[in-house]
Amino acid sequence: YEIVSRDWSSDVCSSDLLVARKKGVISGIDMASLVFLSINSKIEINQKVKDGNEVEEKQCLLTAKGRTIDLLTAERTALNFLSHLSGIATLTSKFVLAVKPHPVKILATRKTLPGLRDLQLRAVVSGGGCVHRRNLSDGILIKENHQMFLDPETILASAQKDRSPLHRVEIEVQDFNILTTVLENPPDVIMLDNFSDEELPLAIRQIK
């Protein structure tokens, strides 16, 4: 970023330019604008890009014009949001590009920072990824710790019987024995949990 004037007088106006430090994918540009406007609604914002846009090094992302003291108050928080979310979008885009020849999708984890889930999942989408699920009520997920108390076959049958038609049933599978059992009454989604690089292709062929 660049501040044209650094006079701390409350009456002096400046222009603040947010510029990309390196090539990447943008996310959080609206959030950055809101940070400036939350300090002073009279700040003039001009967004040069949108979420999901690919940008080049030194490309201008946003300009803000207003009182110098207001711009300096807002800039670090605005940059933190923009940098963090654009970092997620950029990394996601690399995974999406890597699997582009194949009929697969890159999904977001639900393990997000407190208070930032919506923004972080939106950043994944900006990078070309998809949302796995936003919260525990989005579907029935049978995890490994559930299977410590009941066998996967029993839990799976109960879930498929009791679920809403709007919800999918998903089960975590840790080895080939459990996978074989699960495939006798397959759910909507099978999550191959901690399979090795060598095991994954074998499991995918077995699932078909």
Catalytic positions: 76, 111, 143, 172, 193
Q: What are the start-end ranges of the H helices in the chain?
A: 29-39, 68-98, 117-126, 152-162, 176-182, 199-207
The C-alpha atoms of residue 1 and residue 45 are separated, in whole angstroms, by 14
> Which amino acid, 76?
R
Task: List the structure tokens of 156.
Answer: 């799976």
Q: How many CA atoms lie within 13 A of 194 on its CB side?
A: 4
**Distance set, CA 92 to CA 20, 139, 156, 172 (Å):** 18, 24, 32, 23
How is residue 9 annotated by DSSP? -
Task: List the structure tokens of 85.
Answer: 């979310």
Task: List the structure tokens of 208.
Answer: 């078909």
User: What phi and psi, each to the nearest 5 degrees, are found at residue 100?
Assistant: -55, -35
Cross-strand pairs, 15: 65
